[in-house]
Chains A and B, each alone.
Chain A
Amino acid sequence: MNFLELFDQDLISSVLRALIPILLAALGGMLAERVGIFNIGLEGMILVGAFSGVAASFFTNNWLVGTIVAMICGALFSLILGYGAVYRKGDPIVLAIAMNILAVGMTSFLIVAMFGVQGVFQDPGIDGIPVWRIPVLADIPWIGALFALTPLGYLALILVPVLWVVLFRTPLGMRLRGVGERPLAAATMGVNPQHYQLGAVIASGALAGLGGAQLALGNVVQFTENMSAGRGWIAVVAVMLARAHPVGVLGAALLFGFIDAIGFRLQSFGLPQQLTDAGPYVVTLLVLIVLSSRLRKTRDAVLT
């Protein structure tokens, strides 16, 4: 077994594949975190996005419609958390736990009700998201993989600097952060914190929905029961580790994408799938331990 074989050019594209759904969801979680709402409902939002994206793409045979529907359904689903936590004063953790269970139940129920199959829904009628290769750039060795992504892949990567600018260099971002850090002060300034909180949660649902679309229409072209498989939790950890900073979120998502991709490759060296599947979660825990001093300083470490 030659371990150098693990690190070839294809690795970068597999890392990117694994990373993009997590990154999209984590960016969403970051926005919610910034307005002071701890969103652990990402897992369910991804799943809802994945299901609705596949369903819409199946009925219209159009990936773009599927993607947009996934985004809208993710946003609508996140209203449960947004409306409940902001306007009904429900506990975000309780709401999000119930949402995650609801998402699993709802999608597993609907896959049987709508398509008459159990477990996996696969059909040639589902239009997958195409890969947009940028000519010339995509042929560069090693970094070429960065230029052969799905539209959602480009979107996710571009959103990192865009959200950084929005958060730290625009009045909108200042108000968002103000709402999260000092709601009363923001309210005195004439900002309605509830509007910003609801808006941020809806945005996080939309982004997680897109993450689900990438998972079910980009990485594969099918819907599998419970296919988010913990990616939402990893996104939550990414937000916490990064202290809700876009660049940090990218870093954390990169790490998890890398472990996911390496694990997948180790299977070809004879490691059982079950052990490599556990990799991302174990490494996430290890990272949490290593960076615990950092975590402690976070306002959110408070949410023990």
Chain B
Amino acid sequence: MSALHRIGRWFMGPIPISVLLALLIGACFMLVAGVDPLSGYSAMLKGSFGSGAGLANTLQRAIPIIGMGIAIAVAFRAGVLNLGVEGQAGLGALAGGIVAIYVPGPAILIVPLAFIVAIATGAAWGLLAGLLQNLWGVPVLLSTLLLNYPARYFASWMIRFELNAKDTDMVASDQVRPEVQLSMLVPRDSAFAETLRNSLGPTNPITAILTGVNWSLVIVILVVLGAIFMNRRTRFGFESGLSGQNPEFVRYSGVKPGPLVLRTMALSGGLAGMFGLMVIIGAPNTRLIEGAFIQTNYAWTALLVTLLALYRPVGIVIAGLFFAAIMVGSDAMGRELGLSPQIAAVIQALVIILLAFRVTIPWLRKRKSKASDDPPFAEPEHLSDPRLAVVETNTSKESER
């Protein structure tokens, strides 16, 4: 099969069709809101890709989504259903943010310290869920979900009662000092930025991206490469991938599931904490604002992205960019047409639902053999979809206890 043929078939496959259908349903929502879907979607497209600033914004927003997506994928791939990235990233952002804002000292010491604290906090919150499963058999799926709430309320309490700054009406901490802030790839006031602006023009996409996206871009690229390397080349990646698919076999070959869960949760939570911190120190004059981190919805978007990409790092990058574009576009559309930017969550969730429905073009399905139709009494769980491996594999945990 030629490459072109394969690409053609991909476009008739489930993912593009789910996306298309989700956009169609999103259009219905716009109609309900009394907005012409065509102008809605064109506002969206213009906002996310139409200008250099929009492009930079999309890229910047994709970074935490991709990073947390990798954090989730690391866990899901090992069969550990970590739904607590919101809490892990939120606490990482809080702890690292406190270091970045309140600990005095030169930036060259403070920034690494903030990173270490954020990673350690996220990892600790993740480890807690791992320990609860190993020691008492509380499923990670439930404990991580429940741990999101204490994390959220603790952060909100901390900011409101301990950190609340006097110089603002918001419930928020002091500002991040400019020298601690992650610098843009090309700092805006540098000579090189000036050259770029002069030679390419101030609104050129390249100028906008280089001066509008910060160094977390490099970190996320390293994390993605690291994840690919880990999955393919390291013992841990091999074992965790196998235990996601068949924990029985992995145990049989001498891997202890308990430590694997702990290491996975620590890694996943630590990554989440790091990307949480970069949201805080990534933009100029940021404060820790009560409830602001939850509102970004990064963690849950990352979860959808991971499910869409089936835990594959490269897929997460592509899906993350796509979902970030939807978010940035929805914000732009919301501003322009007076709509709620939450349309982004609607479209994103619909993509996943439709994908789980396995929508296909009817005539394509007919060509496949009828034998593949399941008997009427088949159980809801099944083997074909790698996503399901997660649920399935856990069935065997029973015998472990």
What is the interface of chain A, defined by CB distance below 8 A to chain B?
A: 36-37, 40, 80, 83-86, 88-95, 97-99, 101-102, 104-106, 108-114, 118, 183-184, 186-187, 192-194, 197, 230, 233, 236-237, 240, 272, 274-275, 277-278, 281-282, 284-285, 288-289, 292-293, 295-296, 299, 301-304
- What's the least CB distance linking B145 to chain A, in Å? 5
CB pair B146 A112 closer than 8 Å: no
CB pair B353 A99 closer than 8 Å: yes
Interface centre among A101, A193, A272, A284 (most CB of B within 10 A): A101
Chain B residues near A296 (CB, 8 Å)?
Answer: 137, 401
Chain A residues near B81 (CB, 8 Å)?
Answer: 93, 304
Q: Please pick, from A88, A272, A275, A285, the residue contacting B358 in the complex, using a CB distance under 8 A.
A: A88
The stretch among B47-55, B147-155, B185-193, B195-203 that forms the contact with chain A is B147-155
CB pair A302 B397 closer than 8 Å: yes
The stretch among B277-285, B312-320, B372-380 that forms the contact with chain A is B372-380
Which residue of B is nearest A110, CB measured?
B32
- What's the least CB distance linking A233 to chain B, in Å? 5
- What's the least CB distance linking A115 to chain B, in Å? 11
User: Cα distance A278–B29 when bound, in Å?
Assistant: 34
Which residue of A is nearest B133, CB measured?
A304
Chain A residues near B20 (CB, 8 Å)?
Answer: none
CB pair A112 B137 closer than 8 Å: no
Which residue of A is nearest B32, CB measured?
A113
Q: Please pick, from A94, A97, A302, the residue contacting B398 in the complex, using a CB distance under 8 A.
A: A302
Contact pattern, B 355-380, Cβ under 8 Å of A = 1, otherwise 0: 01110000000000000001011111
When A101-B304, A285-B132 are in contact, do A95 and B353 touch as well, CB less than 8 Å? yes
A-B contacts, 18 of them at CB < 8 A, read A84-B357, A88-B358, A90-B358, A92-B380, A97-B304, A99-B349, A101-B304, A101-B345, A102-B345, A102-B346, A230-B149, A233-B145, A237-B142, A272-B157, A281-B149, A295-B138, A299-B398, A303-B391
Is the C-beta of B344 less than 8 angstroms from some C-beta in chain A? yes
Chain B residues near A299 (CB, 8 Å)?
Answer: 398
User: Cα distance A36–B381 when bound, in Å?
Assistant: 10
When A105-B343, A113-B340 are in contact, do A91 and B385 touch as well, CB less than 8 Å? yes
When A109-B29, A110-B32, A301-B398 are in contact, do A285 and B391 touch as well, CB less than 8 Å? no
When A285-B147, A304-B81, A304-B133 are in contact, do A108 and B340 touch as well, CB less than 8 Å? yes
Q: Can you add 11 more A-B contacts, CB < 8 Å, to A90-B358, A101-B304, A292-B138?
A: A90-B353, A91-B385, A97-B83, A99-B349, A108-B340, A112-B339, A113-B33, A272-B157, A288-B142, A289-B136, A304-B81
Chain B residues near A197 (CB, 8 Å)?
Answer: 380
When A101-B304, A105-B343, A277-B153 are in contact, do A304 and B394 touch as well, CB less than 8 Å? yes
Which residue of B is nearest A89, CB measured?
B382
Interface centre among A98, A108, A114, A277 (most CB of B within 10 A): A98
CB pair B137 A101 closer than 8 Å: no
User: Cα distance A85–B387 when bound, in Å?
Assistant: 13
- What's the least CB distance linking B157 to chain A, in Å? 4
By DSSP majority rule, is chain B's interface helix, strand, loop, or mixed?
helix
User: Cα distance A138–B379 when bound, in Å?
Assistant: 48
When A97-B83, A292-B137 are in contact, do A105 and B149 touch as well, CB less than 8 Å? no
CB pair A85 B157 closer than 8 Å: no
Contact pattern, B 331-360, Cβ under 8 Å of A = 1, otherwise 0: 000000011101111101110110011100
CB pair B150 A183 closer than 8 Å: no
Is the C-beta of B246 less than 8 angstroms from some C-beta in chain A? no
CB pair A36 B32 closer than 8 Å: no
- What's the least CB distance linking B131 to chain A, in Å? 10
CB pair B353 A80 closer than 8 Å: yes
Which residue of A is nearest B158, CB measured?
A274
Chain A residues near B150 (CB, 8 Å)?
Answer: 278, 281-282
- What's the least CB distance linking B308 to chain A, in Å? 10
Is the C-beta of B388 less than 8 angstroms from some C-beta in chain A? yes
Chain B residues near A277 (CB, 8 Å)?
Answer: 149, 153
- What's the least CB distance linking A119 to chain B, in Å? 10
